[in-house]
Structure 1
């Protein structure tokens, strides 16, 4: 028994390297988006999905595993950038040939769109009914904390949120600029 082969057969024979790489980026990005956005939809819709549904812990785990699965599936076929920003940044720095940028971007956009479409189709019914965890109110935050927009709408913070903003900005100044 031989090892894993990355030779892909197209309609007219083996795929060219650029086609193979675009396919690898599309496959990896599809899996990454499908699993990460699917985990987010599962967490957001968890009250409606029932007690057996998973929450925000599964979102973190599902997102991490989505990245891992996407990279592992794309790596035999391409460099597994899975993100147009990574591809463009590497090309701008001269670490990636510009001749490969378009096939990579095409694969990434196609894979991302198909992953989002797959997630939408999987969670369509729940999404059309509305996301129960997205409305401002006392049940929005984990632990039953109050929403920062209670009483004022977006842009007008509650007293709890106003008292937190100076502390967080002071903390970021202490840690980033020292």
Structure 2
């Protein structure tokens, strides 16, 4: 596969992933949305379907990684060349930023209504997906639409949660085997992985919001910082290293475990 194939596949697939994944969070947490208050199950299912659509879109062009942690795991396994890893990761971050921007466009009216609602501004919201402002005093009430934040702010505990959740994701991908071209999962593997993402969300997503993907968190967090959203608050950069380092560490452990136990 060419560098152009990797760039197009990973950028477009990750953009779709974030558009649908961030979109379900926006739908659940923003007032004036028909999905407002649908809850954590809806968010977990939405992210699983988002992975499925993004991966099917990406697969004809690239390995449908859509995730620097998965890219790292596949590189350790041998499914992705190490020389291609920087292009994969750069494309995934760019795609995540594009997807986050499109979430803002799609929910522009809801963002405006939510961030000018006196009731919202007068309290520190604790609805599903919103950042706890008491533990993240600089974070704004819509940051949870774009990136993750812990319910209990303990950096090492949060880091460990992300390592464990990402280990589950990556080892589940690696043990399914590559497709006949040797460069990613086949159609059934993509479907299985989507269910794995739902399972992680339901079982391990409660503590941190389960980033399990550095691009998924970092790209939209950058977009949140840049968007002209009145009353949006800060982007909680003091926490941003956790959903980057944790997934990468979990992926490295999964890749190493795979090589020891299955290769």
Q: TM-score range by the shorter chain?
A: 0.5 to 0.7
Q: Does 1:39 align with 2:24?
A: yes
Q: Does 1:64 align with 2:48?
A: yes
- Aligned residue for 1:48, secondary structure, equals coil
Partner of 1:107: 91
Conservation of the 8 A alpha-carbon contact between 1:31 and 1:69 = yes
Computed over aligned residues only, the root mean square deviation of the Cα atoms, in angstroms, reads 3.0
Task: List alignment gaps of at least 5 residues for structure 1.
Answer: 1-15, 143-147, 156-178
Match of 1:53 among 32, 35, 52: 35
Post-superposition Cα deviations, 1:27-58, rounded to whole Å, max 9, x if no partner, equal 1101100000010001001x422xx4352243
Task: List alignment gaps of at least 5 residues for structure 2.
Answer: 137-263
Higher Cα Rg, which structure: 1
Deviation at 1:154, TM superposition (A): 3.8
Match of 2:7 among 7, 22, 32: 22
Conservation of the 8 A alpha-carbon contact between 1:19 and 1:103 = no
Match of 1:121 among 83, 105, 129: 105
Conservation of the 8 A alpha-carbon contact between 2:29 and 2:127 = no
Change (3 A) 1:84 1:154: closer
Post-superposition Cα deviations, 1:109-141, rounded to whole Å, max 9, x if no partner, equal 11111000000111123223446889546xx45
Q: What is the aligned residue count?
A: 128
* TM-score normalised according to structure 1 size: 0.60
* TM-score normalised according to structure 2 size: 0.42
Distance 1:60 1:42 in 2: 13
Change (3 A) 1:141 1:34: closer
- Aligned residue for 1:121, secondary structure, equals helix
Deviation at 1:94, TM superposition (A): 5.4
Between the two structures, name the one with larger relative contact order (CA 8 Å, sep ≥ 6): 2
